[in-house]
Every structure is written in C-alpha cells, then in structure tokens.
Structure 1
Amino acid sequence: MRHFSSHPFDDDKLKEECGVFGVVGVTDAANFVALGMHALQHRGQEAGGIITYAPEGGFSSAHRFGLVRDNFTRASLMETLPGTIGIGHVRYSTAGSKGATAIRDVQPFFGEFAMGGAAIAHNGNITNAEAIRRELIERGSIFQSSSDSECIIHLMARSIQKNIPERMKDALRRVEGAFSIVAMTRTKLIGVRDPLGVRPLMLGRLGDGWVLSSETCALDIIGAEFLREIEPGEMVVIDAKGIESFHPFEPKKPRFCLFEHVYFSRPDSILGGRSVYETRHQIGVELAIEAPVEADLVCPVPDSGTPAAIGYSQQSGIPFAMGIVRNQYMGRTFIEPSEQIRNMGVRLKLNVNRALIAGKRVVLVDDSVVRGTTSMKIKEMILDAGAAEVHFRIASPPTMWPCFYGVDTPEKEKLLASRMTEDEMCAFIGVDSLKFISLGGLYRAAGEAGGRNDASPQYCDACFSGDYPVAPTDMIVKGFALKAAE
C-alpha cells in the first residue's frame, strides 16, 4: 500500500520532519502520549510510534503507518502499552526511506544496554550520519533501519559510561546537525536539544508528572502547564526525584529555525516566548508595507496563509475575505486514486468562492513558493472564477537553498527561486505581480526590530540565505556546493 501525507496531492510544500512527545509520572502514559502526538500531527503524517514502560511488563511498543487518529485511538492497541512513562513520535521521512517507508524506520527506536533498555525519539537531522554509519558498520554494528537517528543508539551502545544519560551525552557529542530528542529509560524521561537549538523542545508540568513536547500546543491538549523551553545545548533528566539540568556541549550562539515561525509550527503554539500566530500576523503587516498593491480583496491560501493575510488586510485597508475554501475532510480519502482524479490536483483540497472572487482584483497570501506548481494551479482556479487580477504575496523570502536540518526540501535545482529572479517567477506562475517578504522584514516580524544581523544571524535561515550554521558534511562529500563567500 502506498502511504500519503495528509495532503497527498500537494508536493509543493516543505514538509516538517517529525514531532516528539514524552510524559513521566502519570497514569496511562500511552493515552497522554497519543493525545500529544495528535496535536503534533502537522509535523508528520506518514507514521507514528509509542514506547512505554511498566515494571510488571517491561517495555512495550507500537509502530504504525498513517495518522494517530487511525491507529492510537483503538482501545485494543492502547491496552498493550501500559505504564506511567512513555514517549512518542510522528514522522515524515527526511533521512532514510522515502515514499513507502519501512516499519523499521518508524520511531521511537529502542536499545537494550547492560544497565537496561532505553528508547529515543528524534526531531531533526544528523548531517554527518552517513560518515558515522560507515564507521560503526566497519566496527561491527548491525543497523536495523535506514534512519540517521539510529546512529545515536549505536553510539550509545559503544560508550563506556555507566548510565544512559552519560552514554547519550557521549553519543550526541559525536553528531552534527539538528536534534531535539525525547528519550526514556525504565525510570527517567530525558530531553536534549542541540547546541544551536535549531528545532524546538518544550517542558511542561501535568499534576505530579512532567511532559516534553516539540510544541506548546501539545501541552495544551492534555491540560499541562507550559514551564519553559529546553535551552539550546541543554539536557534535562526527569525522574521521581525531580528534574536535573545539564549543559554537556560546547556553548554556541543559538540559531533557531526561522521557518518554524513561518509555517511548521501550529499558530496556537509559543516559540521563543512569542505567539506563532502573532508573528505570522506581523509578517502580513510587513508584507503590506514592503509590497503594497491596489486591490479589492486579500485572500489567504488556507490554512497557513491565513494569519499573514489578516495582517496584510489590516495594514493595507483592503478587505479580508475567504476567497478560497479548504476541504477539511479530504485526509486519506483517496489512497489509490485514478489518474483522472489525481489530475484534479489541488482542486481536491481547495475550492474558490466564486461569488466573492468574480470581477475582483485579488491579493493571494501564501506562506512560501517551493516549486511553483501549486501556485500556478491556484492562480488558474482564481482566474477561472472570474478574478480581474491576481497578485501573490508570499510570507517568506524566496526559498533558494535546501534544508539539511530535518526538513524535506527538494534539490536546489528544483527550487524555483534558485534558478529564477522574482520577475521571472512572476511570469512563470502567470500572475499580475509576485512579491516576497524580505529577509529583514521576516526578522522584524519575528521580533528582531533591527532586522537580520548579517555578521551573526539570530536564526537559522539557510533555506533563504544559503548560510548554513552547521556544515552539511554528508552532502558536501556527495558534491553539494556551499554558497561562495561574498
């Protein structure tokens, strides 16, 4: 069976790699983990897994393809996952198998060590994983998956440290790239974030228990109190005695992923003490200042373009309207559609509100342009509905470079902005105007009043700037050319 994401006909969006969630000190941990995974479903729809521990039964696990709601809501399955500690993972493949993923690639991963078992769920991407994998195989390691994350388990196995947290520190000092990790032993819940803090990781409190999550929205769904973000380069170890904090890595200037604010995180989450919704709203305000246009309506490309469209409308004074309506229930309806159905493409997901659009000059606000194929289809739908003009305003700068830190990005030559100017993209898509927010404008929207510090950027913005904070070692070996120094 072929397994699609929740948007099976839209291959023109960047896909987040995964979400991680863990709880300790609660009754029926698996049910809380499943709820948390459901709230993080936007970060990965391909597969999910849960591992729990109960003293009377040891470690239990379940790994399934598809959505959380289709798997981890069945009592018959959840009853097989007893315990007061558990972790979970929702996956969209970035490293390892693509398309029809092997079940062995679905996290969390588990390892049995001399001092007991441990499970690990990883959000991000290890940029030197292939080099480490070759070294480990040469030394006798036998890998069960094609995932970069499994390297961490094997590095832990080879450590001579006496306990799991210390072995994890050893292992993570060897890896490069981005990692936010939730792990567990029989008694401990562990959270770790890489020194740059590229991917998010949150700490919450639930009664006498503790929670770790990729985003605050997953804390909200289980009624947990958001305490703070795990700091870049921090490891927390939580057990019945409480929480301990360590900083096992050489300190570095944080470079949190800027695209988390634009698209990946849910708008009801908090990142860096800032509402994601408010940042996206402010992006729209900045866009209206930078790229004004005479028009009759501002319409979002749902759902991710909506907050920015509201900001654009309010700043420009052009009325906001839901000119495009999203079919919320498409989901996995068409698992193996006919070619005729597949050719309908984006129309299966989006429909134009013709009564609003006809005769109007329309500003369409979207979060990004990757290949440009979806933008062309949406433009055609708007024109077919009788729009007089179509103007695209994009809530991120041109995506010119691939991400190697846990986002599924097309190869550089397949990114429209890497081979065309803004004017050329406008002509290619066939709209009356096309404007992207500037990188400085995006920084201002994210709370950096002075814009981007080019000498020492405050965020990871490699997909826009080509400024990679960690060298993508494996890709460079394969011939990937970094941006030439200016």
Structure 2
Amino acid sequence: MLAEIKGINEECGVFGIWDHEKAAELTYYGLHSMQHRGQEGAGIVASDGMELKSHKGLGLVNDVFKQAKFDHLQGRTAIGHVRYSTQGGKVIENVQPLLFRAQTGSMALAHNGNIMNAYKLRGQLEEQGSILQTSSDTEVLAHLIKRDGQGINEETIGDALNQMVGAYAYLILTENKMFAALDPTGIRPLSIGMLGDSYVIASETCAFDQIGATFIRDVVPGELITIDDEGLRSTRFAQQQQRGMCAMEYVYLSRPDSNVNYVNVHASRKQMGKELAKEAPADADIVIGVPDSSISAAIGFAEESGQPYEMGIIKNRYVGRTFIQPSQALREQGVKMKLSPVRGIIEGKRVIMIDDSIVRGTTSRRIVQMLKEAGAKEVHVRIASPAIQNPCYYGIDMSTRDELIAANNTVEEVAELIGADSLAYLTESGLEKAILTDNTINQGLCTACMTGKYPVKEEGKKEISYTGC
C-alpha cells in the first residue's frame, strides 16, 4: 500500500472576504497571519463583480506581494491561499488560488487538505476529455463542477464534493458569489467571521484578529456556505459525521492565539504539558521548551511539576519552520540556523526539554546535541503528543511510514537515536483530556497519525494525490 503513495502531502491556509472596499489588501493581511501554514507560495484572486483577477507567486506572502499593485486586484471580494510545496510540487502552476476562465462563468479555488481518490478522479476526467494543467487536487474539483457544461451553484458544487474522499476545506469564488465547504468529518479547520457588514472566512481565527474581524462560528462538517449580495446561506451537501478535527492542529500547526473548534490552541497545549507532567515526570533542574509551538506545553509542564521554567533555547525569527521545509538537507540546516541554546541557563543543569512532536527525529537529535554541547548534564525529552507512527492521508507532511522514526523504533531506541537521557510521550487519553472540553462542539479528534485509526477511508487502493492542496 505504501509503495503506491504518489508524494508527500502538505498543509495550507485559506482566507476569503466578501463585500469590503479593501478586499485584496485585507486578504493579504489575513494570509500574512497564516504564513506559518505554508511558506512556498501565496496568491490572491479578487472579483469586481464582472471579472476575476489574480496575483500569485512562489515565496513568502511579503515576497509575493512586495511589488504587487493592489489596484490590479480591484473589487469588493477576494480569496487567498498560502501553501508549501513538496518534492516535485514547487511550481507556479500549483500555487493557489487556481483560476479557471470560461464563457459561462469563471471561478477561483483555494483548498486546504488532501483528496485521497484524486488520482482515480483525474483518470476518469481525462478519459472524458478533460486536460488538467496542474498536479494539484484542487483542479479536480473545478473539472467535476463544470463537467458537461454545468453551471457553478450549490447543486453542482455539492455533487462534485460528494465524489471526493478525504479532508478538505474549500473556498470557491465566482464573479458574484463566494462558497465555502468543509468535508463531512471536519478534519480541517474553517471559520466564519464578520468585519462590519463584510463576511470573512479563514482557516484560523487568528486571521480575524489580524484584520479586526469578529468570530461568528465554525463551518460545520458537510456544510456548504454561499455568500452573495443577499447575504449568507447554509446548505448541506453531506450528512455531518462524528467530528475528526486533526489533532496536529492543536499540537503543532495552528497559531497559539487561534481557536480551533472553539478551543484555544495555547490553552490546549498548556494542558498537554500538564498532563505530560502527570504521566511522565523527570528528576531535573529546569524545564525548557522548543520555540515556538512547544512553549505553551513547557509552561504547563513546569506549572504542574513545580520545576522552574526557563528560556533555554532562543529562536532566530528570520528563519522558517523546519517541519515544512521541502528537503531533508534544508531541514537539518534550518535547525542550525533557527535555534540556539542559552548556555548561561542550561550549563551544568539537568534539563527537561519539551517538544510538541517527533516526526523524522533529525530536528530532535540536533537540538539535544546542541544542549549537551552547551553544557547540559542531562537532557530528558518529553513529547506533548503521542508518538507519530502512521502516515497522514489528509494533508500533512507525513505520507510514508518509512520516514517516521517512532514507527520503526521503540521508545528506548528513539531516545538513543536522538541522544536523550530519557524519552516519554503523552498518551492518547492525555491528549484527549487536554483538548476535548465542554466547549468543544461535536467532540472528536483525528489521531490517525498516532493511533492508526483513520476516520476517512478510501475503498480499494490507497491512492494519494500528487501534491495535495
């Protein structure tokens, strides 16, 4: 099964705003707030009610739009996207939103997630005469909607979505409407906000705070939102299933100031640290966290254990996240450039190092090595999530079991490989205690990468798209 996987998947962010005089500019700021979700490409498509206009490119949001003239993106409606590429995927054709022009009406698509049966759907479309221009899942939806010359409306979009298997949060823009859709299991986050009388849709609520919008509610799994001059309407294209929100959104992916399924990410990470301290204490002098996504958990661990929290590692703010770098060589070099130990704090100390996860192990090994080179007597690694032992088929950069260190080694072997004096992971029950609260709507997590329990399955062959979103 694993040999049939077509590539490494990815994580992305989408943003859209309806009926605002500065739609493109606000989309830029929304994308900037979600830069952590993708660093390899960004784009915006705006509508003035008559025509869709696009600007996109490879690189960070600031780089892509440094020379952009927002006058070109005139209009009161816009959608945007940030993505990162994988091996073979870093091409301008795959940067979103994808724009499709037709005599019967144009549309732009932005997608976060991964369509598991995209390879099969592409084959069917090609047999029927479609010529696809990208290797992205997103293009498949456009062809399904427009197949046989159909119009772009709730019915055709719903029919197209029902042919897809996987995880997806979509934004679709036409000249005079904007649509938002979430897969029936709700694996990816997608929220609705308001800025005055303008509707805003975003992958993370931190984007609302960035532009001064107010959070209204999350898009419900299996829901199709339509926004036009008559307002916002909600229909269903599929029956809502048990929620399977991606646990890694809380563990690593989302910004700490975002709320995911009505749960604050920082608060959940802090509670992960507290649960970890209960489950796997260590005799040590100080607790430190790996910046940035592990700081909240480290604070929680220290509070629960009574051991002092210290800033033992500092981060160079001008270097991106190593988890989403497209090659192993860049990941390892990125660690050296990004993180530095604080010798005056850790020298001669027994250190508890809190990290959010271990995927391939290369980053953890380098950090432990840096701490010991800086004089740490012992380094006890505590991971604020269960061990990642299974591929993700829903859009995160973990697509083969071979690359996952915990899938091929015992806990003791992983500790030895990364050079730690001890290693422990948070249990699945500890993770659920930290995230699932009374405020969580339609509770449920996707922990497939940790447990192997996949909430969405594709019958027959396990076919993964070329590049995901």
Task: For residue 146 of structure 1, report the CA deviation from its aligned partner.
Answer: 0.5
The CA deviation at 1:202 is 0.5
Amino acid at match of 1:23: I
Aligned residues: 447
- In structure 2, the residue corresponding to 1:116 is in which secondary structure? coil
Give, in whole Å, the separation in 1 of the partners of 2:434 and 2:461.
Answer: 32
State the match for 1:50 in structure 2.
44
Aligned partner (choices 430, 440, 451) of residue 465 of structure 1: 451
Any conservation in 2 of the 1:383–1:390 contact (CA below 8 Å)?
yes
| Structure 1: segments with no counterpart, 5+ residues | 1-13, 333-339, 450-455, 479-486
- 1:281 and 2:274 matched: no
Counterpart of 2:376 in structure 1: which amino acid? Answer: A
Q: Secondary structure at the match of 2:73?
A: coil
Q: 2:56 touches 2:64 (CA, 8 Å); kept in 1?
A: no
Contact 1:128 1:473 in 2 (8 A): no
Within the candidate set 21, 26, 30, 1:36 is matched to: 30
Q: Report the counterpart of residue 362 of structure 1 in structure 2.
A: 351
Aligned 8 A contact 1:255 1:469 in 2: yes
Match of 1:453 in 2: none
Cα deviation per residue 1:167-188 (whole Å; 9 max; x = unaligned)? 2111101000011011111111
Report the counterpart of residue 202 of structure 2 in structure 1: 213
Distance 2:53 2:460 in 1: 34
1:36 partner letter: G
Q: CA deviation at 1:458?
A: 2.2
User: Hey, what does 1:138 align to over in structure 2?
Assistant: 127
Report the equivalent of 2:75: 83
Q: Which residue of 2 aligns with 1:105?
A: 94
Return the match for 1:69 from 62, 66, 70.
Answer: 62
| Deviation for aligned residue 1:247 | 1.0
- Asked whether the 8 Å contact 2:24–2:78 carries over to 1, the reply is yes
Percent of aligned positions that are identical = 45
Contact residue 194 and residue 232 of structure 1 kept, 8 A: yes
Q: What letter matches 2:240 in structure 1?
A: P
Query: Any idea what SS the aligned residue of 2:300 has?
Result: helix
**Partner of residue 93 from structure 1, selected from 76, 85, 90:** 85
User: How big is the shift at 1:251?
Assistant: 3.1
The CA deviation string for residues 311-357 of structure 1, in whole angstroms up to 9 with x for no partner, is: 0000001100010111112359xxxxxxx999755221111100111
Name the CA distance, whole Å, in 1 between partners of 2:330 and 2:112: 34
**Within 5 A, what are the aligned runs for 1:418-433?**
418-433=407-422
Which aligned pairs between 1:30-429 and structure 2 lie closer than 5 A? 30-55=24-49, 58-74=51-67, 76-93=68-85, 98-99=87-88, 101-113=90-102, 115-158=104-147, 162-331=151-320, 346-429=335-418
Q: How far did residue 85 of structure 1 move?
A: 0.6
Deviation string for 1:249-287 (max 9, x for gaps)? 133222111111111110000112111000000000000
1:127–1:435 CA distance, 2 compared to 1 (3 A):
same
The equivalent residue for 1:22 is: 16
Aligned-partner Cα distance in 2 for 1:476–1:161 = 30
Residues 358, 259 of structure 1: CA spacing in aligned structure 2 closer, same or farther, 3 A cutoff?
A: same
> How many Å apart are 1:160 and its aligned residue?
6.3
Query: Which secondary structure does the structure 1 equivalent of 2:69 belong to?
Result: helix
Letter of the structure 2 residue corresponding to residue 395 of structure 1: A
CA contact (8 A) 1:323 1:352 kept: yes
- Note if contact 1:127-1:473 (Cα within 8 Å) is conserved in structure 2: no
- Matches of 1:37 and 1:261, distance apart in 2: 19
Question: Is the Cα contact below 8 Å between 2:116 and 2:463 reproduced in 1?
Answer: no
Contact 1:26 1:84 in 2 (8 A): yes
Distance 2:443 2:201 in 1: 28
Q: What CA distance in whole angstroms lies between the structure 2 residues aligned with 1:266 and 1:190?
A: 25
Deviation at 1:428, TM superposition (A): 1.7
Alpha carbons of 1:327 and 1:317: their partners in 2 closer, same or farther (altered >3 Å)? Answer: same
Query: Structure with the greater relative contact order (CA < 8 A, sep ≥ 6): 1 or 2?
Result: 2
TM-score (norm 1): 0.88
Aligned Cα root-mean-square deviation (Å): 2.2
Find the aligned partners of 1:298 and 1:79 in 2 and give their Cα distance.
Answer: 50
Amino acid at match of 1:91: R
CA distance in 2, matches of 1:216, 1:227: 10
Give the distance between the partners of 2:152 and 2:185, measured in 1 at CA.
25
